[in-house]
Structure 1
C-alpha cells in the first residue's frame, strides 16, 4: 500500500545514489555461467554468501521514499550478503529501457515497472523469469507473470466522507454511482494517456455486470455508465491531487490508491474505506532482455522477495508485502490499509492484467476522447 511511497508523495525524481560504489559498469563481472548460487532449490530472501563477488548490477526504480525503502530493505542487504556491487538509478523510464534493449546496450539489470507494462513487454523487452533462481512459492499466484514478479502491492479503494455518510455508508461500487442516495462529488482517476484498472471495472459492476463476467471489459458500456454521473465526477491525475481532494472535502467519495487514502486520513480527512471489491494493484520487478548477467539479476529479485525483506519494505513505505510469510510491524492505523491480509484478499475484485496488457493501447483513444468531452 503506497502510504508514504512515490504514489503518496508524488516522488518521481531519481535518488541518484550509488549503493556501494561509484565505480564499475552495470552487469560486469563473472559471466552468467560462472555464477555459483549454491546447491538446492532457490529460497526467497536467501543468497549464497559472497556468491557474486566481482559482479556489478544496477537496480532501477521510481526514486523517492519508495526506492529508498527498496534499497534499505532488500538491495543493500543483498549486496552485503552476495558480495555484488549494486548501483542505483531511476526513475524508471520505459523509453529509456526500450532504447537500451533495442540497441543491445542494457545498463539496467533489475527494473521496477508497472505490472501491466511488464505483462505487455514479456518476451519483447523483458526476459522470462528463471524459476531455478527465483522462488515464487510465497507470492500471490495471480500476480506472478512469465517475466515478472510483484514488487509490492496496494489497491484502488472506495473512500467515503464519514461526516456525511457515517450512519449509512456506501457498501459497493454501485453505491458510488448512486448520486441520489449518496449525493456529492466523486473523485476518479483521469489521465488521458493512461487508462488503467479502476473506473471501467467499477462502472460495469454498478451497471450490474457480475464480477466474474467483467472480462473482456465492455469499454463502451462502461463509458456510458460513467457518463450517467459525469456531472458529479472530479478527475485526478496525480496521487497528490487525489489526496488533496479528500483532505479539502471537495468530494464526498473517491476512488483512490490505498496509500494516498491512508495519508489523507492521517492528515485529518474525515474519510473511511469501503473494502468490498477493492482493486488490487502491484508494481513488478523484471530483468530487461540483454541484461549482461541475468542470473545475478534474478538472484537480486529472489532476495528482495524474502519475508523479512518484504516486512521491512512495508514498515518503511507502507506498501503491502507480497510474501505470504511477511509480518510487518506497523501501527494499527497503517495495518488497516494493508491489502495483503487474508481478510482483504477475500474482499478483492479479481482483475485481468493480461487483458489489460493486450488492450490498453486500444483503449487510450476512447478514454482520452471521453475525458475531453
Structure 2
C-alpha cells in the first residue's frame, strides 16, 4: 500500500504466524472440487466445512488493523469453512509481482491500496468471481472488476477548536485562507509518493467545481499550494500527523480520519470538518494465478458480511463497507463513521481510475514541487 504508514500500529505480523506459513507452504493446492453450496452468494456466509483440506494465506499490513481483520473475519471464516488460513505480511507489491512472474503464487487474498489494485487489474490481479462474492451490500461503485473494499476512511480537515471553534473552517478554501484562518497547517509531504489529497484540495480551494476535478490541473494546483507554502508543515507518516494534532504545533491538518480520531481520543483539542472530505479505502484482491481462487473468493465473500464488518470497525475504528453493518461505538467513534449519510453526502468524489492511470507521473510532479 502506498500509504502504509497510516496504520495505528507497526506492520510486523506475529512471527509465529510467519513460521506457520513457512512450515505449511501457504497456498497449497486445493481439492479438485469445492462445493460452496447452492443458491446465490450471501456475504458473511460460507458452507460449513466446505474448505476442509484447503490452505489459504491472507496478507495485510499487520498491527492493530490486521489483528482486527483476523479476529473479525479471517479466524471465524477458517473455523466455519474448515480451511487452514495462514497470516502473512506486510503487503509488498514487489513480492506480489515476483510470485506472479515466477508462477509460484503463495498469497491468496491480499489487502492492498485501492489505486494500486485498479492499476493492476488483469495484470497482477485477477477478476473477482461475483457469483461467489455478494457485493449487494457494498456501496455503489466501490467494488471493481478485480477488488472489493476492505474498509473505508478518509482524508479530512482537522482544526484547532480552541482557536477556530467559534468560526470553524467550512472546507478547503478556508484551509488555504491564511488571512481569515492564520496559523500553521500540515499536509502529507512524502517525496516519492503522491495520492489523493493536496492537489484536489488546492483545486477546490481555487474554485474548481468538485465534479470537474479530473483530469487534475497540476500547474493550477501547485500555484495554489505556493500561496500557503510558508505556512505549511509536511508530515510523512500517520503517526507524525497525529502527533502534530495532539501537540497543537499546527492549527489545521489535512490527515487520515483514523489518525484524527486517535488524536482527538488522546486529548487533542481538535475537531473535524467533514465538508469536502476525500474517501480512501483499502481493497481486497486475489493475485493472478492464485492456486485456490474459488476458496479465496469465498474468504472475501465472508469478510464482507455485516457482522464481520461491524466487528472490524469496533476493533479498528475504520468504517465498515457493508451497508447493513451496525457497529457498537461510543459517541466519538460513531461521529467518525464515513458511512453515515450525514457524512457520506459531504464527500468529494475521488477518481481512483484516473489516479491508477496517472500515479507515476503525479509522483514525479509532486516530488518536484516538494523539492522546489
Q: TM-score range by the shorter chain?
A: over 0.9
Say what the alpha-carbon RMSD is for the aligned residues: 1.5
Which residue does the alignment assign to 1:332? 331
Which residue does the alignment assign to 1:266? 265
Relative to 1, partners in 2 of residues 1:340 and 1:6: Cα closer, same or farther, differing over 3 Å?
Answer: farther
Which residue does the alignment assign to 1:88? 87
CA distance in 1, matches of 2:363, 2:5: 24
CA distance in 2, matches of 1:17, 1:163: 46
Which residue does the alignment assign to 2:112? 113
Q: Residue 68 of structure 2 contacts residue 315 of structure 2 at CA under 8 Å; is this kept in 1?
A: yes
Which residue does the alignment assign to 2:13? 14
Give, in angstroms, the shift of residue 20 of structure 1: 12
Which residue does the alignment assign to 2:356? 357
Which residue does the alignment assign to 1:143? 142
Counterparts of 1:230-249 in structure 2, within 5 Å, are 230-249=229-248
Give, in angstroms, the shift of residue 8 of structure 1: 4.5
Paired residue secondary structure (2:183): coil
Q: Residue 17 of structure 1 contacts residue 89 of structure 1 at CA under 8 Å; is this kept in 2?
A: no
1:166-214 CA-to-partner distances (Å, cap 9, x unmatched) read 1110001000000000000111011111100010000000000000000
Relative to 1, partners in 2 of residues 1:30 and 1:85: Cα closer, same or farther, differing over 3 Å?
Answer: same
Which residue does the alignment assign to 1:227? 226
Give, in angstroms, the shift of residue 14 of structure 1: 2.3
Counterparts of 1:63-78 in structure 2, within 5 Å, are 63-78=62-77
Q: Residue 61 of structure 1 contacts residue 111 of structure 1 at CA under 8 Å; is this kept in 2?
A: yes
Which residue does the alignment assign to 1:59? 58
Relative to 1, partners in 2 of residues 1:312 and 1:28: Cα closer, same or farther, differing over 3 Å?
Answer: same
Paired residue secondary structure (1:153): strand
CA distance in 2, matches of 1:194, 1:44: 34
Q: Residue 21 of structure 1 contacts residue 86 of structure 1 at CA under 8 Å; is this kept in 2?
A: no
CA distance in 2, matches of 1:147, 1:43: 19
Q: Residue 8 of structure 2 contacts residue 65 of structure 2 at CA under 8 Å; is this kept in 1?
A: no
Give, in angstroms, the shift of residue 25 of structure 1: 2.3
Does residue 366 of the first structure (1) align with residue 340 of the second (2)?
Answer: no
CA distance in 1, matches of 2:327, 2:19: 26
Give, in angstroms, the shift of residue 338 of structure 1: 1.1
1:268-291 CA-to-partner distances (Å, cap 9, x unmatched) read 111000000101100000000010
Give, in angstroms, the shift of residue 6 of structure 1: 6.8
Which residue does the alignment assign to 1:27? 27
Which residue does the alignment assign to 1:50? 49
Paired residue secondary structure (1:41): coil
Q: Residue 314 of structure 1 contacts residue 321 of structure 1 at CA under 8 Å; is this kept in 2?
A: yes
Which residue does the alignment assign to 2:275? 276
CA distance in 1, matches of 2:270, 2:217: 31
Q: Residue 6 of structure 1 contacts residue 66 of structure 1 at CA under 8 Å; is this kept in 2?
A: no
Return 5+ residue gaps in structure 2 as ranges: none
Counterparts of 1:95-244 in structure 2, within 5 Å, are 95-244=94-243
